[in-house]
Amino acid sequence: MVRDAANLAGYDIRKIKNKAFSSQYSEDQSWDTYGLTRIQYACGPKFLKDWINVDFYPPSTMEERYGMTNEHIYYQADLSLRQPFKDNSFSYAFAEDFIEHLSQADSILFLNECYRVLAKNGVLRLSFPSLEGVLKRHFSSSHMKDLQQGRKDAYERFDHLHFYSREELILVAEHIGFSGIQFLSFGHSEHEELKGLETREGQQDLNTYIELAK
Protein backbone atom coordinates (compact mmCIF):
# COMPACT_ATOMS: atom_id res chain seq x y z
CA MET A 1 0.00 0.00 0.00
CA VAL A 2 2.78 2.44 0.90
CA ARG A 3 4.68 1.63 -2.29
CA ASP A 4 1.54 2.02 -4.41
CA ALA A 5 0.77 5.39 -2.84
CA ALA A 6 4.34 6.51 -3.39
CA ASN A 7 4.28 5.53 -7.05
CA LEU A 8 1.00 7.38 -7.56
CA ALA A 9 2.60 10.45 -6.01
CA GLY A 10 5.39 10.32 -8.56
CA TYR A 11 8.03 8.64 -6.46
CA ASP A 12 9.68 5.25 -6.51
CA ILE A 13 10.86 3.62 -3.29
CA ARG A 14 14.16 1.96 -4.17
CA LYS A 15 15.17 0.22 -0.94
CA ILE A 16 15.59 -3.53 -1.32
CA LYS A 17 16.39 -5.73 1.66
CA ASN A 18 18.25 -8.61 0.02
CA LYS A 19 21.06 -7.96 -2.43
CA ALA A 20 21.07 -10.76 -4.96
CA PHE A 21 24.31 -9.73 -6.61
CA SER A 22 27.89 -8.76 -5.86
CA SER A 23 27.88 -4.98 -5.39
CA GLN A 24 31.62 -4.42 -5.56
CA TYR A 25 33.25 -4.19 -8.97
CA SER A 26 36.99 -4.34 -9.56
CA GLU A 27 38.73 -1.61 -11.50
CA ASP A 28 39.41 -3.93 -14.42
CA GLN A 29 35.79 -5.11 -14.62
CA SER A 30 33.65 -3.46 -17.28
CA TRP A 31 30.32 -4.34 -18.81
CA ASP A 32 29.50 -4.29 -22.50
CA THR A 33 27.82 -1.05 -23.59
CA TYR A 34 26.85 -2.50 -26.99
CA GLY A 35 28.10 0.62 -28.69
CA LEU A 36 25.60 2.80 -26.82
CA THR A 37 26.86 6.15 -25.54
CA ARG A 38 23.94 7.13 -23.27
CA ILE A 39 23.21 5.84 -19.78
CA GLN A 40 20.19 6.30 -17.52
CA TYR A 41 20.78 5.79 -13.81
CA ALA A 42 18.07 4.51 -11.45
CA CYS A 43 15.68 4.00 -14.33
CA GLY A 44 12.87 2.35 -12.36
CA PRO A 45 10.03 1.60 -14.81
CA LYS A 46 11.12 4.33 -17.25
CA PHE A 47 13.23 2.41 -19.73
CA LEU A 48 14.90 4.39 -22.50
CA LYS A 49 15.49 2.64 -25.79
CA ASP A 50 19.03 2.89 -27.18
CA TRP A 51 20.29 3.80 -23.71
CA ILE A 52 22.00 1.69 -21.08
CA ASN A 53 19.46 1.50 -18.21
CA VAL A 54 20.75 0.84 -14.70
CA ASP A 55 19.03 0.29 -11.37
CA PHE A 56 19.31 -1.66 -8.13
CA TYR A 57 16.60 -4.19 -8.94
CA PRO A 58 17.41 -7.63 -10.39
CA PRO A 59 16.36 -8.10 -14.04
CA SER A 60 13.59 -10.53 -13.06
CA THR A 61 11.97 -7.81 -10.96
CA MET A 62 12.21 -5.31 -13.80
CA GLU A 63 10.51 -7.79 -16.11
CA GLU A 64 7.78 -8.88 -13.72
CA ARG A 65 7.00 -5.54 -12.07
CA TYR A 66 7.75 -3.05 -14.82
CA GLY A 67 7.34 -5.03 -18.02
CA MET A 68 10.91 -4.71 -19.24
CA THR A 69 11.46 -6.44 -22.59
CA ASN A 70 14.55 -7.62 -24.45
CA GLU A 71 14.54 -4.43 -26.54
CA HIS A 72 15.97 -2.63 -23.49
CA ILE A 73 19.57 -2.88 -22.31
CA TYR A 74 19.52 -3.16 -18.53
CA TYR A 75 22.11 -3.76 -15.82
CA GLN A 76 21.67 -4.23 -12.09
CA ALA A 77 24.22 -2.24 -10.13
CA ASP A 78 24.80 -0.58 -6.78
CA LEU A 79 25.31 3.06 -7.77
CA SER A 80 26.84 3.97 -4.43
CA LEU A 81 29.95 2.01 -5.51
CA ARG A 82 32.22 1.86 -8.53
CA GLN A 83 30.32 1.72 -11.80
CA PRO A 84 31.36 -1.31 -13.89
CA PHE A 85 32.00 0.72 -17.05
CA LYS A 86 35.21 1.87 -18.67
CA ASP A 87 36.48 5.42 -18.42
CA ASN A 88 35.06 7.80 -21.03
CA SER A 89 32.25 5.42 -22.02
CA PHE A 90 29.28 7.77 -22.36
CA SER A 91 28.43 11.03 -24.06
CA TYR A 92 25.23 11.54 -22.07
CA ALA A 93 23.96 10.45 -18.67
CA PHE A 94 20.63 11.05 -16.96
CA ALA A 95 19.08 10.45 -13.54
CA GLU A 96 15.61 11.55 -12.43
CA ASP A 97 14.77 11.68 -8.72
CA PHE A 98 17.62 9.46 -7.63
CA ILE A 99 20.36 11.47 -5.98
CA GLU A 100 18.15 12.37 -3.00
CA HIS A 101 18.06 8.66 -2.10
CA LEU A 102 21.82 8.71 -1.46
CA SER A 103 23.63 9.92 1.61
CA GLN A 104 25.86 12.92 1.04
CA ALA A 105 28.95 10.69 1.03
CA ASP A 106 27.43 8.18 -1.42
CA SER A 107 26.25 10.98 -3.70
CA ILE A 108 29.80 12.34 -3.90
CA LEU A 109 31.04 8.88 -4.88
CA PHE A 110 28.24 8.57 -7.45
CA LEU A 111 29.01 11.94 -9.04
CA ASN A 112 32.71 11.12 -9.18
CA GLU A 113 31.90 7.88 -10.98
CA CYS A 114 29.60 9.69 -13.40
CA TYR A 115 32.47 12.02 -14.20
CA ARG A 116 34.84 9.09 -14.76
CA VAL A 117 32.61 7.22 -17.19
CA LEU A 118 31.65 10.33 -19.15
CA ALA A 119 33.67 11.07 -22.26
CA LYS A 120 35.29 14.47 -22.73
CA ASN A 121 32.54 17.08 -23.13
CA GLY A 122 30.02 14.48 -21.94
CA VAL A 123 26.97 15.78 -20.07
CA LEU A 124 25.21 14.48 -16.96
CA ARG A 125 21.62 15.69 -16.51
CA LEU A 126 20.08 15.47 -13.04
CA SER A 127 16.51 16.10 -11.95
CA PHE A 128 15.91 15.96 -8.21
CA PRO A 129 14.00 17.54 -5.31
CA SER A 130 16.20 20.41 -4.22
CA LEU A 131 16.66 21.74 -0.72
CA GLU A 132 15.10 25.01 -1.88
CA GLY A 133 12.00 23.22 -3.12
CA VAL A 134 11.75 20.94 -0.09
CA LEU A 135 11.91 23.85 2.34
CA LYS A 136 9.22 25.72 0.43
CA ARG A 137 6.87 22.75 0.08
CA HIS A 138 7.39 20.87 3.33
CA PHE A 139 8.81 23.30 5.92
CA SER A 140 6.99 26.57 5.34
CA SER A 141 5.44 26.49 8.83
CA SER A 142 7.30 26.89 12.13
CA HIS A 143 4.79 24.84 14.14
CA MET A 144 6.29 21.62 15.47
CA LYS A 145 3.37 19.51 14.29
CA ASP A 146 3.81 20.83 10.75
CA LEU A 147 7.59 20.43 10.92
CA GLN A 148 7.24 16.79 11.98
CA GLN A 149 4.81 16.18 9.14
CA GLY A 150 7.28 17.86 6.77
CA ARG A 151 10.02 15.52 7.94
CA LYS A 152 7.76 12.54 7.36
CA ASP A 153 6.63 13.67 3.90
CA ALA A 154 10.00 14.91 2.63
CA TYR A 155 12.39 12.38 4.15
CA GLU A 156 10.87 9.35 5.81
CA ARG A 157 8.01 8.51 3.46
CA PHE A 158 10.20 7.93 0.41
CA ASP A 159 13.55 7.05 2.01
CA HIS A 160 15.09 10.38 1.05
CA LEU A 161 18.44 11.00 2.75
CA HIS A 162 19.94 14.23 1.46
CA PHE A 163 18.66 17.16 -0.59
CA TYR A 164 21.20 19.21 -2.51
CA SER A 165 20.86 22.95 -2.70
CA ARG A 166 22.03 24.59 -5.91
CA GLU A 167 25.02 26.12 -4.14
CA GLU A 168 26.09 22.81 -2.61
CA LEU A 169 25.82 20.93 -5.90
CA ILE A 170 27.87 23.56 -7.68
CA LEU A 171 30.56 23.23 -5.00
CA VAL A 172 30.69 19.44 -5.32
CA ALA A 173 30.56 19.44 -9.13
CA GLU A 174 33.38 21.95 -9.46
CA HIS A 175 35.46 20.05 -6.92
CA ILE A 176 35.06 16.85 -8.94
CA GLY A 177 36.10 18.61 -12.14
CA PHE A 178 32.92 19.36 -14.05
CA SER A 179 33.65 22.44 -16.15
CA GLY A 180 30.16 23.33 -17.34
CA ILE A 181 27.21 23.80 -14.98
CA GLN A 182 23.83 24.88 -16.27
CA PHE A 183 20.46 25.08 -14.52
CA LEU A 184 17.52 24.45 -16.80
CA SER A 185 13.78 23.79 -16.65
CA PHE A 186 11.60 20.70 -16.94
CA GLY A 187 12.28 18.88 -20.20
CA HIS A 188 14.46 21.61 -21.71
CA SER A 189 18.05 21.19 -22.86
CA GLU A 190 20.45 22.45 -25.49
CA HIS A 191 21.18 18.80 -26.26
CA GLU A 192 18.60 16.91 -28.30
CA GLU A 193 19.49 13.70 -26.48
CA LEU A 194 18.55 15.22 -23.12
CA LYS A 195 15.31 16.95 -24.06
CA GLY A 196 11.99 15.72 -22.71
CA LEU A 197 13.40 13.03 -20.43
CA GLU A 198 11.68 14.03 -17.19
CA THR A 199 8.37 12.35 -16.36
CA ARG A 200 7.29 14.10 -13.14
CA GLU A 201 5.69 17.28 -14.37
CA GLY A 202 3.97 17.87 -11.04
CA GLN A 203 7.30 18.35 -9.28
CA GLN A 204 8.47 21.41 -11.19
CA ASP A 205 8.13 23.61 -8.09
CA LEU A 206 10.08 21.03 -6.09
CA ASN A 207 12.82 19.87 -8.43
CA THR A 208 16.03 21.34 -9.73
CA TYR A 209 17.15 20.50 -13.27
CA ILE A 210 20.87 20.74 -13.91
CA GLU A 211 23.38 19.63 -16.54
CA LEU A 212 27.02 19.05 -15.66
CA ALA A 213 29.53 18.93 -18.51
CA LYS A 214 32.89 17.22 -18.25
Answer whether residue 149 shows pLDDT above 80: yes
Element (H, E) at 112: helix 104-117
For 28-87, the pLDDT digits (tens) are: 678 889 999 999 999 999 999 999 999 999 999 999 999 999 899 999 999 999 999 999
What is the side-by-side strand order in the sheet with 180-184?
A: 73-76, 52-55, 38-41, 90-96, 118-129, 207-213, 180-184
Residue 91 CA to residue 36 CA, distance in Å, equals: 9
Contact 33, 85 (CB under 8 A): yes
For 111-137, the pLDDT digits (tens) are: 999 999 999 999 999 999 999 999 999
Cβ neighbours around 2 below 10 Å, total: 9
User: Measured between alpha carbons, how far is residue 202 from residues 15, 46, 61, 65, 126 in Å?
Assistant: 23, 17, 27, 24, 16
pLDDT for 25 equals: 62
Answer whether residue 19 shows pLDDT above 70: no
Contact 51, 83 (CB under 8 A): no
Q: What pLDDT band is residue 2 in, cutting at 50, 70 and 90?
A: very low
Nearest CA-CA partner of 10 in 209, 198, 196: 198
Residue 189 CA to residue 195 CA, distance in Å, equals: 5
Kindly state the average pLDDT of the residues 142-156. 96
All structural domains of the chain: 35-128+162-213 (3.40.50.150)
Element (H, E) at 151: helix 144-151
Q: What pLDDT band is residue 142 in, cutting at 50, 70 and 90?
A: very high
